[in-house]
Amino acid sequence: MIPVQGVQNQTIAVLGLGRSGRATAAALAAGGARVVVWDDGADIREQAAADGLHVLDLTREQNWDGISALITSPGIPHLYPAPHPVIACAYAMGVPVDNDIGLFFRSFATPEWERFDSTPRVIAVTGSNGKSTTTALIHHILKEAGRPTQIGGNIGTGVLSLEPAHDGEVVVLELSSYQTDLARALTPDVAVLTNMSPDHLDRHGGYGGYFAAKRRLFAEGGPDRAVIGVDEVEGRYLADQLGMGPGDDRVIRVSSGQKLERFGWSVFARKGFLSEYRKGRQIASIDLREVTGLPGAHNHQNACAAYAATRAIGLAPREIESAFHSFQGLPHRSQTVAEIGGVRWVNDSKATNVDAAAKALTAFKRIRWIAGGLGKEGGIADLQPYLGEVVKAYLIGHSGRDFALQIGQTAYEVVETMDQAVARAAAEAQPGETVLLAPAAASFDQYPNFEKRGEHFTALVQALQP
């Protein structure tokens, strides 16, 4: 746990008692604060009281006397579509509102660091897609290189549940727009933007508000190095805003598909090869085509971002390349779960929409595609341009028959269940082919979440092993 600094003898309110809210309350108490808590759920409040927390009704203005700050969980709206009533009350009372990310950045450094040989550092990753894979890959590279490291934030451990920093440690954080939007302190050493595409627009009042939330990590934080994906105009704008000219190597531009040779520092992937350029000269190259844990152009973009972030803190290209080859990928995200009789089996259960499924379908050749579930508005007709490598589709779940009408001339079979899909694909797949679970649909017709769907697929595949 990281005790919160600067709160001793203050009364601090915590709104929301999920994982991050509970951890925040504990870290505040460890820092000497008097903590009061509130949650909209009556059962959650009862459990909190039973656990010894001081539950205080923060919807009543008379209960705000003496409260110095409100710390809210990231899932609770603070502006759009409307502030939560408790947050609106804090605004009316002039009480500062923050979140656990803000508390982490103001509490991470301690006087103990003066005795360290190497100052601990923070790499923070945000973006629309790929941030979990990029964060996990950076953490993996650091571990493989023998660097002390922790991972947390929107992935794994909550930030205040991390251990206090060790000498020379690098903490790698995944940060969502919900987390960056409100944090009053954002001071990473290296900040990464993977890419931008519309998401969470109701929460941010539109695409401009969503981008503004991401931009805060760079504009408010002033990182020593900024790694910026420039395949969208927002990334190009941000890189231009942060740099003092094309030769400014404090900004590392990253791309999957563009050749970036004119800048002070850039990392890009084209035709399966990653290239690093410094001041117009190529200084490193990595063949990504045989890196099984990072298939496809979208993962090559993640590899470029992770490479740039770890180069920015001094790792050598050979160290990074070696770690790429031992990275197994995150569960349910283009994860190779087996190779049986020359057939590759890939679990991309996280591909719950058309955009994610399209990325998966362009990452492999000769595909037997398992798709379906609870389809989303608009169906999958937009996937037709990406089906050229699909040998046959095996369609499951509530929307299986609807999907069959939307995939053009692609061969298909409606098989209803995952068990049937895996069995049929196993019977028909030929060496050199890939059986890909990329559902392009939610899981809720047959599974509680995409993780359970992916776990079922993986178990069925592993049962095929001789």
CA-atom Rg of the chain in angstroms: 24
| Number of CB atoms found within 10 A of residue 208's CB | 11
Contacts of residue 80, Cβ cutoff 8 Å, sequence gap at least 6: 202, 203, 204, 205, 209
Q: Is 81 left (phi over 0), alpha (psi -120 to 50) or beta?
A: alpha
In eight-state DSSP terms, residue 282 is E
| Number of CB atoms found within 10 A of residue 232's CB | 15
b/e per residue 42-65 (b: at least 16 CB within 10 A): eebbeebeeeebebbebeeeeebe
- Identify which of 222, 196, 221, 194 has the alpha carbon closest to the alpha carbon of residue 210: 196
Q: Is 452 annotated as a binding residue?
A: no
Which H or E run contains 326?
Answer: helix 317-326
**Can you tell me the distance from the alpha carbon of 338 to that of 244, in angstroms, rounded to the nearest whole number?**
48
DSSP three-state, residue 72: strand
Q: Is 129 annotated as a binding residue?
A: yes
Residue 267 structure tokens:
């990392």
Q: Is 130 annotated as a binding residue?
A: yes
**Widest CA span in the chain:** 71
Q: Is 132 annotated as a binding residue?
A: yes
Q: Could you tell me if 90 and 36 are in contact, meaning their C-beta atoms sit under 8 angstroms apart?
A: no
**Can you tell me the distance from the alpha carbon of 370 to that of 412, in angstroms, rounded to the nearest whole number?**
10
Q: Could you tell me if 17 and 48 are in contact, meaning their C-beta atoms sit under 8 angstroms apart?
A: yes
Side-chain half-sphere CA neighbours of 152 within 13 A? 23
Amino acid (1-letter code) at residue 113? W
**Can you tell me the distance from the alpha carbon of 253 to that of 238, in angstroms, rounded to the nearest whole number?**
10
Q: Is 256 annotated as a binding residue?
A: no
Q: Could you tell me if 459 and 392 are in contact, meaning their C-beta atoms sit under 8 angstroms apart?
A: no
**Can you tell me the distance from the alpha carbon of 53 to that of 49, in angstroms, rounded to the nearest whole number?**
5
- Identify which of 232, 151, 224 has the alpha carbon closest to the alpha carbon of residue 214: 232
Amino acid (1-letter code) at residue 161? S
Interhelix angle 450-462/418-428, rounded to 10 degrees, is 40
**Can you tell me the distance from the alpha carbon of 174 to that of 399, in angstroms, rounded to the nearest whole number?**
33
**Can you tell me the distance from the alpha carbon of 165 to that of 171, in angstroms, rounded to the nearest whole number?**
8
Q: Which residues are annotated as a binding site for ATP?
A: 127-133
Q: Which residues are annotated as a binding site?
A: 127-133
